Amino acid sequence: MKCPKCEAPFEQVEFEGIEVDRCTGCHGLWFDVGKEEMLRRLDGAEAIDDGDPWTGRLHDSLTRIHCPRDGTAMVVLGDIDQPHIRFEVCPQCMGAYFDAGEFRDFKAEGVNLAKLLENIWR
């Protein structure tokens, strides 16, 4: 798979037995469905988000991207109360892409992804 933002290849990284894909270029993270929620509950899981947040903010402006798994156009999600947290979700496979630094914010700020998705696909 290739990164939907910079097209560099992904590498698999693991935290406590949960594997995710991290871009070797911009260090964005791809989570198969539900893995971001599983990792959010684990102390220290933010360590997988080792990218530069400044680079992440630059890539955040690229919003017309396609799912690295199935090629579907991805949807930008964000928390109204915390607009600095924005990430992309595939409406087909429900995988999620976080730019560098976004997973750390997501984990620290307590965004409820299931609630965001429920409100969008109602």
- Average pLDDT rounded to a whole number, residues 40-59: 90
Mean pLDDT of the chain: 87
Cβ atoms 117, 89 nearer than 8 A: yes
Burial class (CB in 10 A: 0-12, 13-18, 19+), 88: buried
85 CB-near residues (< 8 Å, 6+ apart): 78, 79, 102, 105, 106, 109, 111
Residue 120 has pLDDT above 60, yes or no: no
